[in-house]
């Protein structure tokens, strides 16, 4: 079974697929990220379904993305020859779409023999609806293999002759040097379907897709350290964005375990408001103004249905999400059952999300945006809600239902919500509103955090008021301007967190109970730590050291999962994870700022 880090992502801003190092597409949901899966082999290699293209003989495998793109190339070197498989989902500009018919969705796999001769096998084994429905494949000869799933049609076109089996279809072909085999898998729910031709049109499609991605990645205005890793993170983040609505999902997958063999398996194919502010900052910081504005617009649009209350997560169009349901017929990744779809945390009472949304809007204003009357009213409504509710216990950023607590981070984000609203009022962006109430509650929240969030015995900020447990989320405290990274309290907290939550340099568990529950260290916390140092919590050299210590935990393509197993270094949890890549980008942005400041100082 492949490891989580053995996967690569390809996509088109509507959905994405995971391609294994061994050439198998083991995760694909069509037509959206949260649609039922067509391939879910990553969750059960026998039942889930996959689409594998690989040499029959053992091969040495190397892979890479074509520079500045999300076009994947996997090179299989066997003792008889070498093939390169290029996997991508076509992406074009609207202008290019004008001139030719395009399928609604498509995955292209091009196999080129570049040396000697290689016998390859293609196994197409779709299992629709999370492998709950039977796949009846029909061979329509020149029109390709057809699979009807309700109103949807999947077609696979190729020049290779397939043999239909009881489950799936199978083909074998020997490719000689300079020979190419193209395969095109398309989806449609609208007839007539577009059946793309193979050969030269695929070459053109590939060229256009490479151009599109390179044009997009060349828009990055970031010129600081770790530029290559930052661009890869931006490209990964882009693949988790849903272009039609402007939002980002937390991760591509469901139920990849935070602890192998454990039950910490959740569906992340939704949009968490808690990720908002960091994501907006990363996008603006890289110069992706359009994406940042679209995301803020989605934030404001999606939250309208529940005003003034916010819910923890929404789907890609801002709709409510179903409660989680278990899929007992799937064994789960390395037997990590249950596999869940849907997510029940939407009903949780989580206070930090108000601060996240308002901070996201504040980033927009800092970048020159303005707020219309309706948005101003909405933001004030959030502020009033925070003033009425911040004294209540909640589930906290890590969504812990039992028991509800007065989480320090939740109070911090309530403080952020009011602080940013006051700032927006002072900037003239919230008109005709008195800010006295916001000022008073902001003062009260600060007082509470300073008195109850600080444990004088431990000499540390704690996870919850009057508590003794530590939490790595406290690294984020200076990022919001609540307490400086050089303050005595933050420095002491840093030491305590390093002592109790760090199993290896620059790796951090989320909190103490998460260690007992067997989960790995949290990727984002590592980047928060690096950013904390970069913002003054340590020397520039220490910040670089931390960043460099985290980078090797990415896979060979630069992709991060949610968590890292500190013992093996393996990726854990859903993959790839937007929050971790956002953390990388923000840490790099802070490092660049620090370098700039120090360079100025030395001049």
Partner 1 sequence: MNWSGWLLLGFLSTLVLTTILSASQGLGLTRMNIPYMLGTMFTPNRDRAKIIGIFFHIINGWIFSLIYILTFEVFDIATWWLGGILGFIHGMFVLMVGIPALPGIHPRMASEQQGPTVVRQLEPPGFMALHYGIRTPISVIIAHVVFGCILGGFYFLTKG
Q: List strands edge to edge, sheet with 563-564.
A: 521-522, 563-564, 571-572
Identified binder of partner 1 from the candidate list 56, 60, 100, 466, rule CB under 8 A: 100
Q: Is 195 in the site for partner 1 (CB under 8 A)?
A: yes
Dump strand ranges (E) for 266-375.
271-272, 313-314, 325-326, 340-341
Element (H, E) at 571: strand 571-572
Q: Candidates 46, 58, 150, 601: give the one binding partner 1 (CB under 8 A).
A: 150
* Dihedral over alpha carbons 124, 129, 133, 135 (to 10 degrees): -20
User: In this chain, which stretch among 96-104, 172-180, 295-303, 459-467 interacts with partner 1, using CB under 8 A?
Assistant: 96-104
Decide if residue 374 touches partner 1 (CB under 8 A). Answer: no
* Sign of the dihedral defined by the CA atoms of residues 498, 500, 505, 506, in that order: negative
Residue ranges of the alpha helices (H) in 330-464?
352-366, 373-389, 408-426, 436-452
Q: How many residues does the chain have?
A: 603
Q: Which helix (H) or strand (E) holds 175?
A: strand 169-176
Task: Decide whether 193 or 546 has the Cβ nearer to partner 1.
Answer: 193
Query: Contact at 8 Å (CB) between 331 and 308?
Result: no
By CB under 8 A, residue 90 contacts partner 1: no
User: What separation in angstroms does the CA of 436 have from each of 141, 387, 443?
Assistant: 73, 11, 11
CB of 184 to partner 1, least distance (A): 10
- Count of residues in contact with partner 1, rule CB under 8 A: 29
Q: Which of 14, 52, 109, 157 binds partner 1 (CB under 8 A)?
A: 157
Can residue 129 be called a binding residue for partner 1 (CB under 8 A)?
A: no
Is residue 153 part of the contact set for partner 1 (CB under 8 A)? yes
Q: Report the residue number, 80 or 102, with the smaller CB distance to partner 1.
A: 102
Rounded Cα distance between 56 and 60, Å, is: 12
**CA–CA separation, 90 and 572 (whole Å):** 29
User: Quick one: which of 20, 69, 188, 502 contacts partner 1 (CB under 8 A)?
Assistant: 188
Residue 306 in contact with partner 1, rule: CB under 8 A: no
User: Applying CB under 8 A, which of residues 1, 31, 79, 101 lies at the interface with partner 1?
Assistant: 101
Residue 148 touching partner 1 (CB under 8 A):
yes
Q: Contact region for partner 1 (CB under 8 A) — 42-50, 190-198, 447-455, 536-544?
A: 190-198
CB atoms within 10 A of CB 277: 29
Q: Is 197 a binder of partner 1 (CB under 8 A)? A: yes
Return the residue of 141, 373, 402, 600 that touches partner 1, per CB under 8 A: 141
Residue of 164, 194, 365, 422 interacting with partner 1 (CB under 8 A): 194
Q: Is residue 102 part of the contact set for partner 1 (CB under 8 A)?
A: yes
Rule CB under 8 A: which residues touch partner 1? 97-102, 140-143, 148, 150-153, 155, 157, 188-197, 200-201
């Amino acid at each position: 079974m492949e490891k989580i880090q053995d996967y690569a992502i390809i996509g088109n801003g509507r959905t994405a697929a995971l391609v294994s190092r061994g050439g198998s597409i083991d995760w694909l949901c069509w037509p959206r990220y949260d649609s039922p899966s067509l391939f879910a082999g990553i969750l059960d290699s026998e039942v889930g379904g996959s689409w594998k293209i690989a040499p029959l003989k053992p091969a040495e495998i190397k892979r890479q993305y074509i520079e500045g793109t999300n076009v994947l190339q996997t090179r299989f070197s066997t003792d008889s020859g070498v093939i390169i498989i290029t996997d991508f989902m076509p992406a074009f500009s609207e202008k290019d779409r004008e001139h030719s018919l395009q399928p609604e969705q498509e995955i292209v796999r091009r196999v080129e023999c570049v040396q000697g001769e290689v016998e390859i096998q293609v196994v197409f084994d779709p299992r629709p609806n999370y492998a709950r429905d039977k796949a009846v494949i029909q061979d329509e000869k020149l029109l390709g293999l057809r699979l009807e799933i309700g109103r949807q049609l999947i077609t696979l076109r190729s020049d290779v002759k397939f043999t239909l089996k009881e489950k799936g279809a199978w083909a074998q072909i020997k490719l000689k040097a300079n020979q190419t085999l193209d395969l095109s898998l398309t989806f449609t729910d609208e007839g007539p379907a577009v059946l793309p031709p193979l050969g030269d049109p695929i070459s053109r499609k590939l060229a256009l897709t490479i151009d599109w991605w390179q044009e997009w990645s060349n828009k990055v205005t970031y010129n600081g350290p770790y530029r290559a890793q930052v661009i890869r993170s931006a490209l990964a983040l882009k693949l988790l964005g849903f272009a039609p609505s402007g939002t980002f999902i937390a991760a591509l997958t469901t139920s990849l375990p935070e602890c192998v063999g454990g039950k910490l398996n959740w569906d992340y194919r939704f949009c968490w408001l808690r990720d908002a502010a960091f994501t907006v900052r990363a996008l603006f910081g890289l110069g992706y103004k359009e994406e940042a504005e679209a995301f803020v617009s989605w934030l404001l649009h999606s939250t309208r249905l529940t005003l003034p209350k916010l819910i923890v997560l929404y789907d890609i169009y801002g709709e409510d999400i179903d409660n989680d349901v278990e899929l007992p017929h799937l064994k789960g990744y390395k037997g990590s059952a249950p596999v869940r779809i849907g997510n029940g945390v939407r009903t949780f009472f989580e206070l930090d999300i108000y601060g996240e949304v308002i901070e996201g809007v504040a980033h927009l204003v800092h970048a020159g945006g303005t707020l219309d009357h309706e948005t101003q009213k909405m933001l004030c409504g959030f502020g009033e809600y925070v003033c009425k509710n911040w004294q209540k216990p909640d589930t906290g950023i890590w969504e812990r239902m039992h028991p509800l607590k007065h989480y320090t981070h939740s109070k911090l984000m309530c403080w952020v919500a009011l602080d940013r609203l006051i700032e927006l009022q002072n900037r003239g962006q919230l008109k005709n509103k008195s800010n006295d109430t916001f000022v008073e509650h902001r003062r009260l929240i600060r007082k509470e955090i300073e008195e109850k969030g600080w444990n004088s015995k431990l000499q540390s900020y704690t996870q919850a008021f009057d508590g003794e447990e530590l939490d790595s989320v406290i690294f984020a405290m200076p990022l919001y301007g609540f307490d400086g990274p050089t303050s005595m309290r933050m420095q002491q907290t840093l030491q305590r967190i390093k002592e109790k939550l760090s199993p290896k340099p620059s790796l951090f568990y989320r909190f103490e109970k998460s260690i007992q529950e067997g989960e790995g260290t949290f990727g984002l916390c590592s980047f928060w730590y690096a950013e904390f140092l970069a913002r003054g919590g340590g020397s520039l050299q220490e910040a670089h050291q931390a960043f460099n210590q985290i980078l090797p935990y990415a896979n060979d393509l630069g992709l991060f999962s949610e968590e890292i197993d500190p013992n093996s270094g393996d990726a854990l949890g859903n993959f790839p994870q937007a929050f971790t890549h956002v953390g990388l980008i923000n840490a790099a942005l802070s490092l660049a700022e620090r370098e700039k400041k120090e360079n100025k100082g030395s001049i």
